[in-house]
Structure 1
């Protein structure tokens, strides 16, 4: 009898440890995404005396750095530990904010955004990899999609609250807003340090450059062996970037139409609420439909809903519906990728997904801005819809063909 109860007690103890780390991860990710300055930085730079050209360059610097930094930072996570990668990300972000607060010259704000991108890189991919590896350790990986949905709810709530509170505090002082952001990061570090570290147990340290090279080679070989990994990465890159691009230009578009800032804040918060709803129901949707069907239906939902972006107030509903489909698509694809990849490659390949997103953003974002400057944002949004339709026609043909093989 004793030999039967011992494994049961060990399993129960293991599940308690797992749940504790999941709850700590929820706290960490809430604080991580409680970014008081996420929509304020362009205005902050202008107030400090920098030009709109500088603002545009900062955005480009961020995405170029993010694109170049995704693979190396994912490798750091896979080789040296998930928690270490996330800790480095928080420390780099603190330095980035301090630089931005005291910036007096252009090179300082550009450096700040380089560090901000690296901070983002050190977290992206590692966040999902940490959760999946934690569940895998206790044979609970089948719960990953459900946990991803809960994480999405936590993230969307944090973004919703931080956008509102950040705007209120910025009305008093932008410097105070950035100072409080540093305090929130420090609190997130305290939560992170309570979490269990997850390392690559099979890793034998040799030369760091050699290790990174091997990780890249192994990732490429894995994609060659399983082409579905490439198409999963392609799916989220093409269609998630369209939502992000549409979201960032909506503030200017609605302001041009005479909509007040307070009303814009409320409209954009509706997008977060939609994301929360999507996060709650994604697990049930994934249980009901096949991978192929989800990869075909969710992107077409994003494409069709984007037709309303040029037409206010229909654009309010449009951005919310786009967010609904994109949230489900993101959770589904991260789940599919985690199921296909071994732990020692997980963060590297998830970072590759983020790199694909950055590459598409480098094309989408300036193209929308260029069309908007020449013909107005209404025409730019119409062009975005046409581009997405064209992309989807090719995309669905490729997906149907590849998933039939």
Structure 2
């Protein structure tokens, strides 16, 4: 690896560390935070759905920003937007705001994350290629996953402990401070390499061109299409499952004020991210095709979610959480490598954003629906229904395998 490629990788890992640590301060207690603000389960997951609706609305426009004005510009805008919207969330909690206020704040949070999605990964791929990196993309993404897992582990545990010692608002204060640090670091260290923004056309014309490109290289591109169509089912359920584990584990544990348990749930997922990153090279050797890994991971996830709903044991639920998180995280680098392998560089940020849009679209529908199931029949029923919804993604993964794309084949 060249010196320039090492600098690119170090920048990517540092920004991954800072942004994930900032975000994860609230991941262990976010649902509890919303419930403490006076929302019901349905309203809390509706707020999360508005967050994902914001992602759906802004994925393509922010992809245009990344492809037209640069990946660095998009990252800086995303960090600044997240900082402002996090402070707004804190103000909403203090004021015990009505549901419409949470909807607006959540949409702004979604906007912030769309500036990241697609742009960060596109920046990494283009900069590594330009710098003459010899490592495989999967290897660098796996290192990023390890760093993200470590940051999530530290942040989620710290957020839970801080909430236990102070109140549920303090983790949001810590998140805001670290987002400010991330903004400064990104401004100083991030440079677009191997990519020249296209600014010749007006914004509307550029949006039309980019949308057409995202469709051509996304939904109209069969190898990418089937993975994208599977995303609403897998990502929609994953969003609910992650946030619902906070109150569900507290319920199984028997103490609904033990906020450290909620932090523990997020920490377990973070630990699984780290382990998955470490074992990714070995998991890769178990499969000849990346779609095989997706099929196996999805099937394991379905079983784990169902077990989470059927059990009444806190420790069995913890074990099911570990298996679910580990299976999903271990296959993620291979999914990313597959998708990057079937789309061209010029449309990479937008197509990756469009892929995130598809997953977010599932979250808009699935999260409030499963939140309603939780209100009516309890969290256990919601997890069983979630397992059934995720099962609907399996046929699309089979179709992706049948395309026999070159990027599907793993060369060990």
TM over 0.5: yes
- Say if 2:65 is the partner of 1:67: no
Which of 196, 199, 222 is the equivalent residue of 1:227? 222
Question: 1:300 is matched with which residue?
Answer: 299
Shift of 1:146: 0.3
Query: How far did 1:207 drift?
Result: 0.7
Of residues 172, 184, 194, the one that matches 1:190 is 184
Using the TM superposition, give the Cα deviation of residue 404 of structure 1 relative to its aligned residue in structure 2, in angstroms: 9.3
Contact 1:82 1:198 in 2 (8 A): no
Indicate conservation of the 8 Å contact 2:235/2:359, yes or no: yes
Structure 1 residues without counterparts, runs of 5 or longer: 1-11
Residue among 347, 352, 358 paired with 2:354:
352
Cα offsets for 1:214-246 (capped at 9, x unmatched):
011122122365300111223444324333322
1:181 maps to which residue?
Answer: 175
1:113-172 Cα deviation digits (max 9, x unpaired)? 221110010001112111111111123265210010011111111111111111222232
Shift of 1:182: 1.9
Q: TM-score, normalised by structure 2?
A: 0.86
1:39 has 2:28 as partner: yes
Structure 2 portions without partners, runs of 5+? 407-412
Alignment TM-score, normalising by the size of structure 1: 0.87
**Structure 2: distance between partners of 1:50 and 1:395:** 36
Larger displacement relative to structure 2 (137-146 or 212-221)? 137-146
CA contact 1:92–1:115 (8 Å) conserved in 2: yes
Q: Does 1:78 align with 2:67?
A: yes
Contact between 2:28 and 2:262, CA under 8 Å: does it hold in 1? no
- Quick check: 2:29–2:262 contact (8 Å CA) kept in 1? no
In 2, distance between residues paired with 1:391 and 1:102? Answer: 38
CA distance in structure 2 between the aligned counterparts of 1:282 and 1:368, rounded to whole angstroms: 31
Report the 3-state secondary structure (helix = DSSP H, G, I; strand = E; otherwise coil) of the residue aligned with 1:309: helix
Structure 1 residues 391, 146: CA separation in 2 closer, same or farther (over 3 Å shift)? closer
Q: Which moved more, 1:148-157 or 1:282-291?
A: 282-291
Contact 2:249–2:262 (Cα < 8 Å) also in 1: yes
Q: 1:216 aligns with which of 203, 211, 216?
A: 211
Shift of 1:101: 3.0
Alpha carbons 1:235, 1:295 under 8 Å: kept: no
1:334 touches 1:350 (CA, 8 Å); kept in 2? no
Q: Please say if residues 299 and 326 of structure 1, whose CA atoms lie closer than 8 Å, have aligned partners that are also in contact.
A: yes
The equivalent of 2:237 in structure 1 is 242
Matched, 1:26 2:21: no
Q: Distance in 1 between matches of 2:15 and 2:219?
A: 35
Q: How far, CA to CA, are the matches of 1:348 and 1:41 in structure 2?
A: 29
Shift of 1:55: 3.2
**Secondary structure of the corresponding residue to residue 162 of structure 2:** helix
Which of 145, 149, 167 does residue 152 from structure 1 map onto? 145
**What do residues 191-220 of structure 1 show as CA deviations (whole Å, max 9, x unaligned)?**
212122247426242211101110111221
Alignment of 1:5-404 (within 5 A): 15-34=2-21, 35=23, 36-45=25-34, 47=36, 55-103=44-92, 104=95, 105-106=97-98, 107-140=100-133, 143-170=136-163, 171-193=165-187, 194-198=189-193, 200-201=195-196, 203-223=198-218, 226-260=221-255, 261=258, 262-286=260-284, 288-310=287-309, 311=311, 312=313, 313-389=315-391, 391-392=393-394, 394-395=395-396, 397-403=398-404
Q: How has the CA–CA distance of structure 1 residues 37 and 198 changed in structure 2, closer, same or farther, with 3 Å as cutoff?
A: same
Write the distance in 1 (CA, Å) between the matches of 2:39 and 2:239.
24
Deviation at 1:254, TM superposition (A): 2.5
The answer as to whether partners of 1:236 and 1:329 remain within 8 angstroms in 2 is no
Q: Is the 8 A contact 1:78 1:343 kept in 2?
A: no
Taking structure 1 as reference, are residues 101 and 231 closer, same or farther at Cα in structure 2, changes over 3 Å only? same
Counterpart contact for 1:74–1:122, Cα < 8 Å = yes
Once residues 404 and 215 of structure 1 are traced to their aligned partners in structure 2, the CA distance between those partners, rounded to angstroms, is 24
How far, CA to CA, are the matches of 1:65 and 1:134 in structure 2?
Answer: 28
Greater CA radius of gyration, 1 or 2? 1
Superposition RMSD in Å: 2.6
